[in-house]
C-alpha cells in the first residue's frame, strides 16, 4: 500500500509538470494580456506601459517567464524599476519553493490573497457539505427502503428537477424571493441579505453570520443533495436485498437499526469514493455561489483574475486546482481500498 502511494505520487510529478507548461503557455500567450485592459479611465502612455512590462517581466520570452515562475528569479539580475537596466536580483523564489509570486493587480504576494480566500471558501463549503450530508443521507435511505412509495416518488421527481436547474439561476431566484420579495414584517428590511459574509461595519453576531450563510448554502446544497440522495438510494437498494440484512431483520432488530446501521455502512462505501472524486467539483462549484453572493472566496478571486489577466494569480489557482484533482483521484483509490478489503493495490 505504501509502495503504491509513493508510485502514484511519483507519477503525479511529471503530470503536474506537463499540465503546468500547457496552462502557463495558454495563460501567457493569450492576446490581450494584463496591460491591455488596464484602467481606461487613466490612460497610460506607451512609455509607462513599457516600464510596467519590464517590471512584470513581460518583455521576456514565455520560456524564460516559465522558468522564473517555476524556479524563481533570485539568481539573475532583473529590471525592478522598469528603466531598461538590469539593476538587482529578483525576489521570486518560484513555485517549487512555494512562492506563488506577486499579483499584478494588487502588487501583494498572491499567497496572502489565496490564504484568505481559501479560508472563506472552506468555511462556505464545509457548512454546505454538512447540510448536504444531513439531508441526503436520511432522504436516500428512506426513499430506498420505501421504494415506489409516495415519498420516494416525490423525492425522485424533485431530485430530477434539482439536477436540471442551472445553479446560477437558482441563486438569482433565491435572491428574488428572499431579498426582493419577502420582507421582515417588523423592520421592513429584506428578509435575508443579498451577499457578503457578514454586515460590514457591524459587530460580530452569530445571527448575522448565519443570515448571510442561508442563501449561498441553499444554492450550493440543491445540486449536491439531489446527486447524493439519488446515488445513495440506488446503492441502498443494492444492499437491502442482501442476505445479511434479511438475517438482521429476522433476528428481530429494530428496522431503524437494520437500515441505518447495518445497511447504510455498506451503502456508503461507493458514495465515499464518489465523494472523493467530486472534491474538485465541489471546490470549483462554489464559483457561481461566490460570484452571485459576493462571497470573498477562491472562485471570485479566480473570476476577477481571469478578467484582469492577473497571470500569477491565475497560475496559482490553476495549479492548486490541478493538484486538488490529482490528489482527490488518489484519495478515491486509497479510500476505496481501505474500506473494501477485497481491493488490493501493489
Binding site for another protein (CB under 8 A): 15, 18-19, 23, 26-27, 30-32, 36, 160-161, 163-169, 172-173, 175-176, 179-180, 280-281, 283-285, 287-288, 291-292, 302-303, 306-307, 314, 317-318, 321-322, 324-326, 329
Helix (H, G, I), strand (E, B) or coil at 77: strand
Q: How far is the CB of 171 from another protein (least distance, A)?
A: 9
Q: How far is the CB of 87 from another protein (least distance, A)?
A: 33
Q: At 215, which helix (H) or strand (E)?
A: helix 206-240
- Among residues 228 and 259, whose Cβ is nearest to another protein? 228
- Among residues 56 and 283, whose Cβ is nearest to another protein? 283
Q: How far is the CB of 30 from another protein (least distance, A)?
A: 4
DSSP code, position 94: -
- Among residues 71 and 284, whose Cβ is nearest to another protein? 284
Distances (CA, A) of 249 to 219, 222, 258, 268: 39, 34, 7, 20
- Among residues 180 and 250, whose Cβ is nearest to another protein? 180
- Among residues 89 and 169, whose Cβ is nearest to another protein? 169
DSSP 125-187: HHHHHHHHHHHHHHHHHHHHHTTTSHHHHHHHHHHHHHHHS-HHHHHHHHHIIIIII-B-TTT
- Among residues 4 and 260, whose Cβ is nearest to another protein? 4
| DSSP-assigned beta bridge partners for residue 77 | 89
- Among residues 64 and 161, whose Cβ is nearest to another protein? 161
E strand map for the chain: 77-78, 88-89
C-alpha torsion angle, residues 152, 178, 122, 207 (rounded to 10): -110
Q: Cβ neighbours of residue 190 under 8 Å, at least 6 residues apart?
A: 178, 179, 180, 182, 183, 184
DSSP 39-65: -SSSPPPHHHHHHHHHHHTTTS-HHHH
Question: For residue 306, which of 34, 25, 38 has the smallest C-alpha distance?
Answer: 34
In the chain, the largest separation of any two C-alpha atoms, in whole Å, equals 86
Q: Is the CB of residue 74 less than 8 Å from the CB of residue 92? A: yes
Q: Is the CB of residue 190 less than 8 Å from the CB of residue 267? A: no
- Among residues 52 and 324, whose Cβ is nearest to another protein? 324
Amino acid at each position: 500500500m505504501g509502495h503504491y502511494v509513493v508510485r502514484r505520487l511519483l507519477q503525479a510529478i511529471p503530470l503536474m509538470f506537463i499540465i503546468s507548461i500547457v496552462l502557463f503557455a495558454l495563460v501567457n500567450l493569450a492576446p490581450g494580456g494584463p496591460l491591455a485592459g488596464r484602467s481606461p479611465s487613466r490612460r497610460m502612455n506607451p512609455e509607462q506601459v513599457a516600464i510596467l512590462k519590464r517590471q512584470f517581466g513581460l518583455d521576456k520570452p514565455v520560456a524564460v517567464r516559465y522558468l522564473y515562475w517555476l524556479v524563481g528569479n533570485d539568481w539573475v539580475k532583473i529590471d525592478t524599476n522598469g528603466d531598461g537596466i538590469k539593476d538587482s536580483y529578483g525576489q521570486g523564489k518560484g513555485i517549487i519553493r512555494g512562492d506563488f509570486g506577486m499579483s499584478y493587480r494588487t502588487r501583494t504576494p498572491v499567497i496572502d490573497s489565496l490564504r484568505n480566500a481559501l479560508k472563506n471558501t472552506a468555511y462556505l463549503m464545509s457548512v454546505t457539505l454538512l447540510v448536504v450530508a444531513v439531508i441526503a443521507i436520511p432522504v436516500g435511505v428512506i426513499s430506498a427502503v420505501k421504494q415506489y412509495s409516495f415519498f420516494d416518488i416525490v423525492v425522485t421527481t424533485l431530485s430530477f428537477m434539482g439536477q436540471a436547474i442551472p445553479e446560477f439561476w437558482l441563486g438569482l431566484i433565491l435572491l428574488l424571493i428572499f431579498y426582493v420579495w419577502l420582507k421582515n414584517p417588523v423592520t421592513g428590511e429584506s428578509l435575508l441579505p443579498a451577499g457578503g459574509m457578514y454586515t460590514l461595519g457591524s459587530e460580530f453576531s452569530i445571527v448575522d453570520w448565519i443570515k448571510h450563510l442561508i442563501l449561498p448554502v441553499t444554492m450550493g446544497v440543491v445540486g449536491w443533495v439531489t446527486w447524493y440522495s439519488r446515488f445513495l438510494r440506488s446503492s441502498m437498494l443494492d444492499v437491502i436485498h442482501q442476505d445479511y440484512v434479511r438475517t438482521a431483520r429476522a433476528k428481530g432488530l429494530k428496522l431503524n437499526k437494520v437500515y441505518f446501521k447495518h445497511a447504510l455502512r455498506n451503502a456508503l462505501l461507493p458514495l465515499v469514493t464518489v465523494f472523493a472524486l467530486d472534491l474538485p467539483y465541489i471546490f470549483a462549484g462554489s464559483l457561481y455561489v461566490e460570484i452571485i453572493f459576493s462571497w470573498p472566496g477562491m472562485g471570485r478571486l479566480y473570476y476577477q483574475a481571469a478578467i484582469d489577466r492577473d497571470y500569477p494569480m491565475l497560475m496559482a489557482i490553476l495549479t492548486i486546482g490541478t493538484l486538488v484533482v490529482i490528489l482527490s483521484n488518489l484519495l478515491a483509490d486509497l479510500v476505496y481500498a481501505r474500506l473494501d478489503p477485497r481491493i488490493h493495490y501493489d
